[in-house]
A and B are shown apart, each in its own frame.
Chain A
Amino acid sequence: MHPAWPVIFFTTLAGWAQGLVIALAAGSIAAVAPTRELMLTGLATAVVLLVAGLVCSMLHLGRPERAWRAVLMWRTSWLSREVIVLPALIAWLALWWLAEATQQSSVVFPALAIVLSLLLWLCTAMIYVCLKFIREWSHPLTIANYTLLGLASGMLLTAALGIVTGDARYAVWCARWSVVLTTLALVVRGASLTRNRRLRPVSTLQSATGIKSPQIKQMSMGMSAGAFNTREFFHGKSHWVVRNVRVGFIVLAFAMPIVLVFISIATRSGVALFAATALQFVGLLAERWYFFAEARHPQNLYYQVIG
Chain B
Amino acid sequence: MDTHARPKQLALVIDLNVCVGCHACVTSCKEWNTSGSAGALVDEHPYEANPTGTFFNRVQTYEAGSFPDTETIHFPKSCLHCEEPPCVPVCPTGASYKRKEDGIVLVDYDKCIGCNYCAWACPYGARELDEKRKVMTKCTLCVDRIYDTTIPERDRKPACVMACPTNARLFGDVNDPRSEVSEAIRDRGGYSLMPEWNTQPANQYLPRKIVPAVAAIETPAAGAR
Contact = CB atoms under 8 A, between A and B. Distances in A.
Interface of A: 1, 60-64, 66-67, 69-73, 76-80, 83, 127, 130-134, 202-203, 205, 207-213, 215-229, 232-233, 297-300, 302-303, 307
A133 B116 contact: no
A220 B60 CA distance: 6
Contacts, number: 177
Given A67-B113, A218-B62, A297 B94 contact: no
B125 A70 contact: no
A79 B115 contact: yes
B196 A202 contact: yes
Interface string B51-95: 111110011111111100001110101000000001011111111
Contact of A69 (B63, B71, B113, B123): B113
A80 B112 CA distance: 13
Contacts of B197: 132-133, 203, 298
A73 B91 contact: yes
Given A208-B194, A227-B52, A220 B61 contact: yes
B93 A70 contact: yes
Nearest to B90: A77
Contact of A63 (B26, B50, B114, B205): B114
Contact of B111 (A69, A77, A220): A69
Contact of A232 (B50, B51, B129): B129
B119 A76 contact: no
B138 to A, nearest CB: 11
B64 A218 contact: no
A307 B90 CA distance: 34
Nearest to B137: A228
B113 A298 contact: no
27 contacts: A60-B115, A64-B113, A66-B113, A69-B94, A70-B92, A70-B115, A73-B92, A77-B92, A79-B92, A131-B121, A133-B123, A133-B197, A134-B120, A205-B62, A207-B195, A210-B205, A211-B64, A217-B62, A219-B61, A222-B26, A222-B77, A225-B49, A225-B51, A227-B52, A228-B127, A232-B129, A302-B77
Contacts of B194: 133, 203, 207-208, 298
A281 to B, nearest CB: 25
B207 interface: yes
A217 B26 CA distance: 22
B134 interface: yes
A69 B93 CA distance: 5
Interface of B: 23, 26, 49-55, 58-66, 71-73, 75, 77, 86, 88-95, 111-117, 119-125, 127-129, 131, 133-135, 191-197, 205, 207-208
B94 A208 contact: no
Nearest to A230: B52
Contacts of B128: 227-229
Contacts of A300: 125
B64 A213 contact: yes
B116 to A, nearest CB: 6
Contacts of B207: 210-212
Contacts of B135: 62-63
A131 B199 CA distance: 12
A196 to B, nearest CB: 17
Contacts of A232: 116, 119-120, 129
A231 to B, nearest CB: 8
B120 A223 contact: no
A212 B208 CA distance: 10
A215 B120 contact: no
Given A298-B123, A302-B125, A219 B62 contact: yes
A215 B66 CA distance: 7
Nearest to A67: B113
Given A72-B94, A203-B123, A223-B55, 8 more contacts: A66-B112, A72-B93, A77-B91, A127-B117, A218-B62, A219-B62, A225-B49, A297-B125
B131 A61 contact: no
A211 B62 contact: yes
A209 B208 CA distance: 12
B45 to A, nearest CB: 8
Contacts of A131: 86, 90, 120-121
